[in-house]
Chain A
Amino acid sequence: MVGVDGPPMNGVAGVGAGGGMLGAQARAQYAALARLRWHMFINGLRVKKGALELGARTISFVFYAAGGVALGSGAGAAAYFLTAFGGWRFLPLLLWAVFFVWQMIPIMLASFQDQFDLGILLRFPLRFGSYFLLYVVFGLLDVSTILGGLCCAGIFVGITLAQPGLFLWTALELGVFAAFNILLVRAIFAWIDRWLAQRKTREILGAVFMVLILSLQLLNPALHRQKHQVVANPLGSANTEEQNRLRAQEFQRTKALFKDRYGPWLERVNAVQQWLPPGLAARSLRQAHSQEPGSRSGSLESLGVLGLFVFAAGGVLGARLRSEYRGESLGVAPSVRRAAEVRAREVKSRAGKSVGGRLLDGSGPIAAVIEKEVRTLLRTLPLIYAIGAPLILVLVFSGVFIRSGSQGNAFPLALPLCMVYAQLGFTRLFYNSLGAEGAGIQLYFLSPTPMRTVLLAKNLFHSALFGLTLLVAGILTALRLGQPDPMVVLATIAWILFALPSNLAAGNVFSLTMAYRVNPGRITRQGGSQANALGAVLVQVLVLGVGAGVFGLCWYLDKMWMAVPIFLVFAGVAVYVWMRGLGNADQLANKRKDSLMATLMKAG
């Protein structure tokens, strides 16, 4: 192709000009890209929605910044105390925590981050090195990288204050550790996007994910049994001093039991983690601090192995990006022979019966929309993920409540708190219910089915799914923490009856006025709407605030029963608002028709 491999054309420098990914041509391309991003930003502000987005982004930034600074300060304080007071052996735990923040947060926030799809640059004569560099550089703007970077900065400050002599070594170690994390998180998402790009791998990934969630849930009864074996209170109703003495004995016994049972296993885990990046970074720092002979060379060795991990992560990312760069085809077209076989099989199986399976036999548009929603959801991994991920965290949180309970009992309001968390997974479904429609949004405006019917069908389906998820979360919590107080269960159900229509009412308005396109084949590189995300958070905080206030008050007054009628009154109001909202949905949809279609139908 002229301009790429051939001699430079008139006015075209050619890829070779300037040489390398930092050469003159590459630098010109980076500058052009920076200008492009700037123009996109400025042009975005020309419309009202853009200004709203900027405001929402500014507020989000303040939140993230505050969270990041708090997290970084916490990590710094922990690092200071660990290294100043001889707690070096616990440093790996801190670095593992940073590692998990770095790798897990992008998954949690993927849907809320507006990400630029660099794939569009491949049509230009861009060097692979430049493409790789841009992909990594754009990753630096990820929330996880900023948080992880702040944690590393905090740890650096903490260790340097405690051990000033390790200043340079700590900077080097943490710099390499950060590089590893940046490359790994980009590699993970590049590969996930690759797998989501094809139906077969997407379905395998979806199945693996579902199995993972179910496995975690099945793990609960086992954990529950363990817990009861360990914390069963043998005392009954003895006096407090005796109870304390016995509790101390029980603690010692449990500790010994834990050490006996898990000690060898933990030793093995420790031996392995030392050779993984967070463990290597911690070990290298510890060896650098140690005065023992040979420790310096050991430290260098650990740093070297950590460097190898950086290259490995870069290699994994590079392999993926190289395929993208070469213009891989992710089409699902089978080979000619295979296609003929499939066709023959389908023609045979189709004889005398209607093609494709049916989920719902109802003729009406509500049944049609619900069936479509089920099928779309099952084929949209980001949404399954959004619903499923909080369930995993319910499992984690319920573990926290076991420990935080007084007198060996779980925290009494653990159930509503776990319900609240499970509800968060529905934010995208409730508040952007049209986001996955793409060009299909036109059909709703073309067909004789009113928008209120479409939204009603979506609300019904989402409510059923919501109920099912809360049921699973409730069972999960009960298995983990034991049966909750029946009055708390009733109050929780009453709160849900208030929270659900409140979210649906607000969600319908947001879906029509602040929709954003969901790319069903991707977890990362999604477009997003900070205004929608922030608004949804604010409404949810309000609903949660009302719930927390009522729960707190009734708990304080020791009259939990009062929460039920209060929530039922709120629920009545919320249902009324939801119905009024549905009644006005067509008017609002028609008013927002242009921007709704423009947003959902835009390419990419």
Chain B
Amino acid sequence: METAAIQTHGLTRRFGALTAVEEVTLSVAQGQFFGFLGPNGAGKSTTIKMLTGLLEPSAGTIEILGQPFGAGALELKRQIGVVPEGMALMGRLTAPEYLRFVGRMYGLDMATTNERTDELLEFMQLANESRKLITDFSHGMQKKLAMAAAVIHGPKVLFLDEPFEGVDAIAAGMLKAMLQGMINRGATIFLTTHVLEIVERLCSHVAIISQGRLVANGSIEQLRVGVESTLPGAEQEQRLTLEEIFLSIVGAGGQQEPAQELSWLA
């Protein structure tokens, strides 16, 4: 049996009295494009932070590529690329300076770093902005740069926290093609986003987290079959979209209350 790219057992994170993530157990196979979904505040970013070593779990274990993962797993970190929630950019550097810095921090030699920096800047259409400080970049440009930094060392596992937020349609298309290319070459991608159309198009498997607990996990087709089987006969005839599946699952958890009328709004 092939080793899972990402494996968690009973992953839990508490902040004082609040349990942000509770007993999350999941497995992501190598070469899988995995979508991790959930409403706001469900625990997606907390989970991704724990999986990438940015946050210490309160309980549970994490294995990446079959090895236990913690803050000290430096060799394992070389196999991982991350676009975190805060993007990890350094505003006072230019894009090429930043990418060169990141490449060297991941242990690439100077020649390879330079070569990849140039290629990535061209690919991300940032080469013309090479003199501008990152702090002066638009949000979308910063996202593209964060993506470039996440892949410069050729990671085997890529964690993406809302990578398409603020990115224009042309760049988003380009990034999706790049990610699909990585999957085709055997990389594993763990993606969180609120744009369900993207997940539906790119991901083969999804997990849904709600109120810190994993409420669904499997291929999109498995989830669809599961949800459709709970619907009354007439409704089973239409093929459900991921958005409908998501709303059905999360709504079933009692989150989805009918919106009340705000009488004072125009």
* A interface residue numbers (CB < 8 A to B): 2, 9-11, 199, 331-333, 342-343, 346-347, 350, 354-356, 358, 361-365, 367-369, 371-372, 375-376, 379-380, 436-450, 520-521, 586, 590, 593-594, 597, 601
Contacts and interface: CB of A to CB of B under 8 A. Distances in A.
Given A333-B136, A597-B86, 16 more contacts: A199-B136, A346-B130, A354-B115, A356-B94, A363-B104, A363-B109, A365-B107, A375-B92, A379-B133, A445-B53, A446-B52, A446-B54, A448-B78, A449-B105, A520-B92, A521-B135
B74 interface: yes
A175 B71 CA distance: 59
Contacts, number: 146
17 contacts: A342-B128, A343-B128, A346-B128, A347-B128, A350-B127, A354-B115, A368-B105, A369-B101, A371-B97, A375-B93, A446-B80, A446-B84, A447-B105, A448-B107, A521-B135, A593-B54, A594-B55
B253 interface: no
B121 interface: yes
Ranked nearest first, the 4 interchain pairs of A and B with the lowest CB-CB distance are A368-B104, A356-B96, A440-B90, A442-B88
A593 B71 contact: yes
Interface string B45-75: 0000000111110000000000000011011
B32 interface: no
Contact of A355 (B76, B80, B86, B118): B118
B110 A442 contact: no
Contacts of B104: 363-365, 367-368
Contact of B264 (A10, A354, A442, A445): A10
A582 B92 CA distance: 26
Given A331-B136, A346-B130, A368-B100, A376 B88 contact: no
Contact of A448 (B75, B87, B130): B75
Contact of B105 (A443, A586, A594): A443
Nearest to B130: A355
A443 B78 CA distance: 12
Nearest to B87: A439
A373 to B, nearest CB: 10
A376 B135 CA distance: 12
B96 A355 contact: yes
Contacts of B91: 438-440, 520
B82 interface: yes
Contacts of B101: 368-369, 371-372
B211 interface: no
A358 B96 CA distance: 10
B4 interface: no
Interface in B126-166: 127-128, 130-133, 135-136, 149
A356, A361, A363 — most chain B CB neighbours (10 Å): A356
A593 B264 CA distance: 44
Contact of A438 (B74, B90, B94, B118): B90
B86 A442 contact: yes
